Amino acid sequence: MAAEQVWYLNMARLAVLADIYQIEGLGEDIIDVLVTGSFVKPPQWPVIDFIYANTPASSNLRRWLVAWATERIDCIWFCKKTTNLAPIPEYASDVAKAFGRQKSRKKGSHHHQKANGQNTGEE
């Protein structure tokens, strides 16, 4: 496993332990470190699987993972690759929902601009 993947996995393990032992603030500190991390490659299956197997649906760690994906992965690429996401269907579903929310916000913003007479770049 590549060094950055080991780092992601260790951070995820630490976050899970912080949650289990209710170490106040540590989970949030870990998310802050993950958000500001300089790694370019996304977390791979072992990391994603560990996070989804050991955290509840409301987990900040899951939210970070989904946000990471939706900020760095093209929606069209994601839709073409969904069969590769079969090992962790809950993750695939979370990412798809996040892309849907992004599209809804963009569409809503576009309609709001058009209704207010702002130029949206469309003719």
- Going residue by residue through the chain (123 aa), what tens digit of pLDDT does each one get? 899 999 999 999 999 999 999 999 999 999 999 988 877 788 888 999 999 999 999 999 999 999 988 888 777 777 666 556 667 889 989 998 998 888 777 765 544 444 455 444 444
Do 6 and 43 form a contact (C-beta atoms < 8 A)? no
Give the C-alpha separation, 113 to 120, whole Å: 7
Do 66 and 94 form a contact (C-beta atoms < 8 A)? yes
pLDDT for position 107: 64
Give the C-alpha separation, 42 to 47, whole Å: 10
pTM score of the predicted model: 0.76
Do 1 and 9 form a contact (C-beta atoms < 8 A)? yes
pLDDT for position 108: 58
pLDDT for position 110: 46
Q: How far is CA 48 from the centre of its chain?
A: 10
Q: Residue written as tokens 């649906």? A: 57
Q: How far is CA 34 from the centre of its chain?
A: 11
pLDDT for position 123: 40
